[in-house]
Amino acid sequence: MSADAQAQPLWKPGRTLLEQSNLKKYMDWLFVKKGLYFRSYHDLWEWSVTDLEDFWESLWNYFNIKSHDLYLEVLQKPLNGLIGTRWFTRSKLNYAEHIFRNKTKDRPAILFQSEKSELVEISWETLETQVAAVSTWLKQRGVKPGDRVAAVLPNIPQAVVAFLATNAVGAVWSSCSPDFGKPAITERFLQIEPKVLFTVDGYAYNGKSYDITAFAGELSAALPSVKDTVLIDNIFSETRPDRFTAWDDILHFENFGIDFEPVPFDHPIWILYSSGTTAKPKAITHSVGGCLIEHMKALMLHQNVKPGDRYFWYSTTGWMMWNYAMSSLLCGATLVMYDGAPAYPSSQVLWTLAEKARITHFGSGAAFFIASMKSGVSITSERLSHLETIGSTGSPLPPEAFEWIYKQVKKDVWLISLSGGTDVCSAFVGGCPLLPVYAGEIQCRMLGARIEAFDEDGKPVLNELGEMVITQPMPSMPIYFWNDEHDEKYISSYFEMYPHVWRHGDWIKITDRKSVIIYGRSDATLNRGGVRIGTAEIYRAVESIPDVKDSLAVYLEKSNGEGTISLFVVLAKDKELTDELKKQIRDTLRTQYSPRHVPDTIEQVGDIPYTINGKKMEAPMKRILMGQDPAKCINIDTMRNPESLKAFI
């Protein structure tokens, strides 16, 4: 028996969840409607990734997806590979129309709070009225299906309104957070040639207000395709370009309700962007139908989101989790939004919001939970009586953070660690209401996602480290990258290591019990004597030392096939990297893991480079340290803290 098999679960589903979860109801429906009986979740998963057509068609029927034309085929596969797969051919639908199927007077559509405003409710009636006005205005301004609508907006309700209006008319949405660098935003939107631009006068973060009105004017002028720019008063700046249209004027636009434009299943819904650490960020384009059916599956079946629940995920409009969280409206949930810093005015702010807004599903990046753990926030689980799930993504959540949540936050909460990406605007691995939770492990591979761990020969391995691959198509895989005529960028992004098999770039282990452990990015994986080590293990050990605030580990190959592990550490205030501390770091790694985990060099730096979305920039730092031109390795406009580069360059 492996050590994994001997571990004790931190949480097990209770009888109510086992019997009444959305996933159990779906399995009962499969038995009644199709005569399919599955003894376990893993049997259900095996069917879902083997009989693809039957599985996805069953979801279409179970979720009662509304199509304005009957579909001809569930699945059309290309001769080779995954690119070019088509789903539910000839069907026509609208994503926003499915959201408004859930409108009700019984509960609000959105709850919103920011650094500058208290918690407010937005009713379904108000949401519908505003979306109707903005969609009518878009049509009158000549926006047609397939046209692009761009937005530089913080995480505010107007962003949801603008997206739903864009989608209602069949146009394609693309958004950036206003804290992106100006060149980064311009570079993204120049690629897609938007017809309309939504922006704000400014935003508030960490107690400060930032006026971006001048930049909004510069951006509008730099995008020759933009015919109209709409300005939303967010910080009520005194400056306003005359040529801009006021958001409030649009809301008073006469309309006769929302006219939902049906579009083909594989019509683009939004364009998301790769991090752009090298070259231009890739414009990843997803389909209306693919995201609709995938998000209903992910949120309803894997997170058990139900009508009346309150769903929150701390995000910005530049991260795919914003799109993912908005899809809670598809489930009949109330979307809870927060705009501002997660630790201002204190590290309690989001936990207080969870209590005040009676949040059912509370999600954030793993870094938030680690920061909460280290700062010693005070949480009283009795005040979180409505909280059913905690979601974590963005980077691996270490086992001690799992344990902290169960000891310090709520002992009976269902912790859902999930991992996916901008690439599919969803998760490949995540939660299951029928399975236990183990420290440091993701519960399952999600339905319809044929995830394997491959060795270097392209063979699947169990209970061993391997490359995370996807061997069957999913509806929410990109339909294409914008301006990638022959799919060259698409192919180079996922299909170069294993022909016709999607390599995601994560280093994973599928355990004996079919849970998943992610060890970090495989392209930044450390190698010691042929044994591969995930960076997450290094960080877990090193950052458990009180004097170490943050760290970055990089493996530098040599021409003779050997290599060295370099560790960079950020220390607590007024601390220096002494020989004693270096010894403590090495001893900790050796004791907690193995001698192979011990770095060859340890250096102190002022800060670790991060992307705007909060990911450590391991691979770009590796390339810089191996002598490549920094300008070719990284785009500083995609960075949260570009000044951190000095120590590495």
Averages of pLDDT over each 10 residues, the chain, 649 residues: 68 97 98 97 98 98 97 95 96 98 97 96 98 97 98 98 98 94 87 97 94 93 96 85 90 90 98 71 95 98 98 95 98 98 92 96 92 85 90 89 94 96 95 97 98 92 94 97 93 91 92 93 71 80 92 79 86 94 94 86 94 85 85 83 90
pTM for the model stands at 0.88
Alpha-carbon distance of 44 to 30, in angstroms, equals 10
Nearest CA among 433, 435, 509 for reference residue 465? 509
Q: Are 577 and 602 in contact (CB under 8 A)?
A: yes
CB 331 within 8 A of CB 295: no
Q: Where are the alpha helices (DSSP H) in 236-297?
A: 247-251, 288-296
- Report how far residue 445's alpha carbon sits from residue 50's, in angstroms, rounded to the nearest whole number: 14
pLDDT at position 429: 98
Q: Is 277 helix (H, G, I), strand (E, B) or coil?
A: coil
Beta-bridge partner residues of 639: 611
Q: CA angle, 322 as apex, 318 and 325 as ends, to 5°?
A: 170
The residue length of the chain stands at 649
Cis peptide before 78 (omega within 30 of 0): no
Give SS3 for 127.
Answer: helix
SS (H, E, C) 236-263: CCCCCCCCCEEHHHHHCCCCCCCCCCCE
Looking at residue 530, its pLDDT comes to 60
- The pLDDT of residue 3 is 43
Amino acid occupying residue 193: E
Which CA distances in Å does 411 have to 43, 385, 388, 433? 29, 11, 11, 16
Sign of CA dihedral 48, 54, 59, 62: negative
Contact 271, 77 (CB under 8 A): no
The DSSP-derived string for 291-343 is HHHHHHIIIIIHS---TT-EEEE---TTSHHHHHHHGGGGGTPEEEEEES-TT
- Strands 196-200 and 172-176 turn out to be unpaired
**Strand, helix or coil at 564?**
strand
Q: Please, what sign has the CA dihedral across residues 533, 536, 539, 541?
A: negative
Confidence at residue 381, expressed as pLDDT on a 0 to 100 scale? 67
Q: In what order do the strands lie in the sheet with 444-445?
A: 419-421, 426-430, 444-445
pLDDT of residue 4: 56
Residue 337 CA to residue 114 CA, distance in Å, equals 8
pLDDT at 12: 98
| Alpha-carbon span 284 to 420, nearest angstrom | 14
- Phi and psi torsions of 626, nearest 5°: -90, 10
Q: What is the DSSP letter of 626?
A: T
How far apart CA 83 and CA 81 sit, in angstroms, is 6
CB 175 within 8 A of CB 201: no
Contact call for residues 235 and 201 (beta carbons, < 8 A): yes
* Closest to 188 measured CA to CA, from 269, 274, 268: 274
Question: Could you give the count of Cα atoms lying within 13 Å of 296 in the half-sphere of its Cβ?
Answer: 21
> Which run of H or of E encompasses 539?
helix 535-542
Residues 615, 618, 619, 621, CA torsion sign: positive
